[in-house]
Chain A
Amino acid sequence: MFRMLLKPFARFFEVHAKAHYRAERHSMALTAGIILAASVGGFIEIAPLFTIDETVESAPDMRLYTPLEQAGRDIYIREGCYLCHSQMIRTLQDEVDRYGPYSLAVESQYDHPMLWGSKRTGPDLARVGEKYSDDWQVRHLVDPRALVPESVMPQYAFLLAAPLETESLPGRLAALRTVGVPYTDDQIANAAVDAGGQAVPDTEPADGVAERYGEETNIRLFDGRRERLTEMDALVAYLQILGGLTDLPAETQPPRGD
């Protein structure tokens, strides 16, 4: 009975069975099948996300990373900090209580790549900016266990001795513009100078940073020293802006009143 029902369709499969030595045809069919099965699913699931701009919150006050902050972000990636620290506060009460308002999609809008992370060996850093002083951050990076005895974080004292390479910053900002971060020509052209300027307050280069990136920009000594621009400056500048690119999360999620 089953066989009878299937008979009209048998042809489809018999073609293959007969063509024993038309071997390529089998393997090509298999290839096509695998590609079809594996690509359509992913495409259907991912494609809508590229039209997401219209439904995601918009944050008009969203600012860009300054060259120094971007350099710091690149160091954060280079050292693999993202392997132990997430930057994504989930929509769970205890996370909001511990780390602050949950993360919005718009906050990582310009993050190429995103650093949401997958493991919290250390705490989440999505809103760590300005939670501690520059001095605390520097001392903690130099010797984490001096400040938190139980910490298992690696020490990064060498950052304090490593001069920050700034020559490549215009190229890096330009690459970021290619993938969609709206840096202006002016910002790209001055990237190297601005990186240094952000770490020497009350100077002409520092004024240039404020002019190009807004008065809200953190212009400080960061590593505590004026005479040298180090990788520590960059990393601390980056850490201090985390969660500070837009005020939207704080505005839309008022603190829980008891």
Chain B
Amino acid sequence: MDLTYEATSTFAKSFGLIYLIVLSVGITAYAFWPSLGKRFDKAAKSLLDDEDGPCR
């Protein structure tokens, strides 16, 4: 394939969109994956876990 401006910019415009959609679906799935919820909660709370030591 010749690397013309036409070709690269068309690729940018089409592939860019697909890339974005695929990634957003993946991320949303990860963030809302039911079984991961507990880990997320734990991570958020462990920050404040005072008996384990850290801050304040």
Interface residues of A (CB under 8 A from B): 2-3, 6, 9-10, 13-14, 17, 37, 40-41, 44-45, 47-48, 51-55
Contacts and interface: CB of A to CB of B under 8 A. Distances in A.
Contacts of B23: 37
Contacts of B19: 40, 44
Contact of B34 (A2, A37, A40, A44): A2
Enumerate the 5 nearest inter-chain pairs by beta-carbon distance, A residue then B residue, closest first.
Answer: A48-B8, A48-B9, A51-B5, A44-B12, A44-B16
Contacts of B30: 13
What DSSP secondary structure best describes chain A's contact surface? Answer: helix
A6 B5 CA distance: 42
Contact of A48 (B5, B29, B36): B5
What DSSP secondary structure best describes chain B's contact surface? Answer: helix
22 contacts: A3-B34, A6-B34, A9-B29, A10-B33, A10-B35, A13-B35, A13-B36, A17-B39, A40-B19, A44-B11, A44-B16, A44-B19, A45-B12, A45-B16, A48-B8, A48-B11, A51-B4, A51-B5, A51-B8, A52-B5, A53-B5, A54-B5
A250 to B, nearest CB: 26
A47 B8 contact: yes
Interface string B18-56: 010001000001100111100100000000000000000
B4 to A, nearest CB: 6
Nearest to A43: B12
Contacts of B36: 13, 17
A60 B12 CA distance: 30
B3 interface: yes
A2 B33 CA distance: 10
Contacts of A14: 35
